[in-house]
């Protein structure tokens, strides 16, 4: 059974990142936002693997409704 993602915030979380592999939480249930902690189990929503190749700042989507996961695309501005 597939559930809907939980809206964590209606704004992106801009963070500095280092090169590496990250797992973005797509379900919104993780206690370690914006990253997965396994809370998605049983929801039918899987985290997204993200490979960062350069240090910099990135806008993680926190509403979980972006069309460009894991990056914010402004979808939060259209949510109720």
- Please report, in tens digits, the pLDDT of each residue of the chain (80 residues total): 469 999 999 999 999 999 999 999 999 999 999 999 999 999 999 999 999 999 999 999 999 999 999 999 999 999 99
Question: What backbone torsions phi and psi does residue 31 show, to the nearest 5 degrees?
Answer: -85, -5
Residues 75 and 7 sit within 8 Å (Cβ to Cβ): no
- Confidence at residue 2, expressed as pLDDT on a 0 to 100 scale: 66
Q: What percent of the chain clears pLDDT 90, i.e. is strictly above it? A: 96
- Tokens 């809907």 belong to 4
pTM for the model stands at 0.94
């Amino acid at each position: 059974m597939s559930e809907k993602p939980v809206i964590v915030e209606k704004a992106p979380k801009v963070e500095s990142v280092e090169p590496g592999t990250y797992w973005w939480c797509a379900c919104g249930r993780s206690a370690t936002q914006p990253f997965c902690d396994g809370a998605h189990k049983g929801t039918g929503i899987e985290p997204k693997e993200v490979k960062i190749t350069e240090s910099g700042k990135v806008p993680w989507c926190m509403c979980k409704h972006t069309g460009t996961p894991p990056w914010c695309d402004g979808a939060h501005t259209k949510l109720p």
